Structure 1
């Protein structure tokens, strides 16, 4: 691994957080687990080295190449600043949110708290916090934020094979399951100041601190995961807020793709917002054209691989299904290139299943990913 002491103050802090979270990942405990997940970090043979038609994140928007670690930090800030300017600036992240505990109940070896916090200023949100039995107030537990339409799915009260918060809590993680509570339009639907998907990412950043402020939780070992709608949400949150140590994105569509109706970033509740009068739902056509920021991003040649690059060197897993197929390695190869430029390998992973819906195998792969990167001393313990 290259020395990163020359990367500048901001980068050094980021790298220190990641290295602290992952320092034990080469210890004996997780070696067997690594053997199981290592193939996920290897691009499909037909896509190895294939960068597709995406513009390299290792070039500034004016075409200048990134040549040094300092250049990368400047380029990283350029990407982050550009996307925030386009999507709308966030209010300050609340690092000490007030959390109201509404209910406490036992669920086997877990304690489930129903809690309320402000996902954005003036937008109260209710979610479920799961604490494993035996968790001590010593800031030693890893944690995962689970995002979806509503919080019940994540804790197993709705749906099938989407109970990520419940299953991870059973494996020893502190988890927090949240939904959007219609807070994706900030401050309101009539005059939203932030594109909804960025507002969701901002909400996840606030939710991060609900976990980080728990005495059981190691704030340097907090991940995020979501499926579909939640996959988009988890991707934007982890890319835009670098305190998340790692992330898993389940079949949300990791790049723009107008051949897939469900990869619908053009919709006004994602990146197509331009006012309260929404375009007709569906694929962009001449009769039903692109709107809002999405229209601008397409016109200017931007794509989501630029955001993926902001994860480096933090690890992430794409749990791909019908929408994120193996061809998406073309986009992911760009973040692999950024990691290699910084001296890192095995930071970008993808698994694939046939259908959009998660299944027991794809879920197990995600859980192993989080076990490896966030709880190395307990890796493999079920």
Structure 2
């Protein structure tokens, strides 16, 4: 009897603790006190006073810390083995655009990987700037264009999109056109390129079916504790797309803006931090592990994201579960790694899980590094009103609505890119 009561109390206690851990905090009064690390002070406490000191000392040590403890480092180099233009047309979007579907192939350790870039470019005699971003359900889902090829890669089931048995079919064509303002980009003089992210690394807790496996030796089944999770793998894929853009005579590779939403917004920031060839970076509703500050512990937290998506980050990141104060960096410094290139962080009013205030603070506190370069960050530490963008080298808006990508978002991104990149 005593043992039964003890076990019942034990179960109740740990059930309450577990429920408390899973229940997110949406109350500003419960945000813990914290002190943000100074992006312009080295880990040894020395003040950074020049661009040279930032680039030679501070930036490398911040980047290395992220590589070793959060996203993971890529364990080697892997160049494009071959480029295959699968399809091309000069009559896309009513004749206003060129369409290309280009497959990049990679080979290493008797393994291979292939992914396809869907590209739309406005018709012009000049090289054009390009927005580059991953999509969640296949290239054919982002447009009604019947000529876009359907990926054969694994995909998460979504019956509302007609996706079952983890396979893409014609039924899902065009189901995500609402997230991509392709004609607006073309009309503004920008090209657009997208990749289905599952072709680079399927979004499952299994790191034996994506690009990581090409680097495994002997009987290795997963990366080392400090090596890449899926976000770093997806960022790697974006850089390989950049490798191709440098070969494409129609694309201005010096003006490629990397874009991402949600987990892919985390990816765009990490890609921009690692690859300085990207001319600008856009983070849309990227939340925890993206633009939002870890130390606020608001909405999604490190413990929650590692429990739900243990494959996104390197295993060393789990050392900070429920211990954000132990981190010697925070996400304003990730954004600062993009400097002096333009960066745009965007939030949604109803997307509290992604912590809109924390995303704003991430962008705001990156400002001192941009100012070191003579660039304009966000000048006021008060979050702006809804649907009132701040358009500087560091840009920000919070719009009405939920976790999504809307025409309002794209109108701001295009206007910003015309001013700072085009």
TM more than 0.5: yes
Residue 172 of structure 1, CA deviation: 2.2
The whole-number CA distance in structure 1 between the counterparts of 2:34 and 2:417 is 29
Distance 1:90 1:203, change over 3 A: farther
Residue of 386, 394, 405 corresponding to 1:348: 394
The whole-number CA distance in structure 2 between the counterparts of 1:177 and 1:293 is 33
- Say what the alpha-carbon RMSD is for the aligned residues: 3.0
| Contact 1:319–1:366 (Cα < 8 Å) also in 2 | no
**Correspondence 1:373 to 2:420:** yes
Residue 305 of structure 1, CA deviation: 2.0
Aligned to 1:75: 58
Matched residue count: 306
Distance 1:99 1:332, change over 3 A: same
Aligned to 2:383: none
Distance 1:131 1:330, change over 3 A: closer
Q: TM-score, normalised by structure 2?
A: 0.65
The whole-number CA distance in structure 2 between the counterparts of 1:97 and 1:251 is 34
Residue of 91, 101, 108 corresponding to 1:114: 101
Aligned to 1:103: 87
- In the TM superposition, 1:95-244 aligns within 5 A as 98-105=82-89, 106-107=91-92, 108=94, 109-118=96-105, 122-134=112-124, 136=125, 138=126, 140-149=127-136, 150-155=138-143, 157-165=174-182, 167-184=184-201, 185=207, 186-188=211-213, 190-192=221-223, 193-244=227-278
Higher relative contact order (CA 8 A, sep 6+): 1
| Contact 1:227–1:252 (Cα < 8 Å) also in 2 | yes
Distance 1:209 1:272, change over 3 A: closer
**Correspondence 1:260 to 2:303:** no
Residue 89 of structure 1, CA deviation: 3.1
> After TM superposition, where is structure 1 displaced by more than 6 Å over at least 4 residues in a row?
292-298
| Contact 2:336–2:366 (Cα < 8 Å) also in 1 | yes
Q: What residue ranges of structure 1 are gaps of 5+ in the alignment? A: 1-50, 275-289, 376-382
Residue 119 of structure 1, CA deviation: 7.1
Report the structure number with the largest CA radius of gyration. Answer: 2
| Contact 1:272–1:294 (Cα < 8 Å) also in 2 | no
Distance 1:296 1:324, change over 3 A: closer
Residue 113 of structure 1, CA deviation: 2.0
The whole-number CA distance in structure 1 between the counterparts of 2:81 and 2:182 is 21
**Correspondence 1:299 to 2:299:** no
Q: What residue ranges of structure 2 are gaps of 5+ in the alignment? A: 1-32, 145-173, 202-206, 214-219, 377-391
Residue 52 of structure 1, CA deviation: 7.0
| Contact 2:62–2:329 (Cα < 8 Å) also in 1 | no
Q: Deviations for 1:116-153, whole angstroms, at most 9, x for unmatched residues?
A: 1137863211231112223x3x5x31122122323334
Distance 1:60 1:272, change over 3 A: same
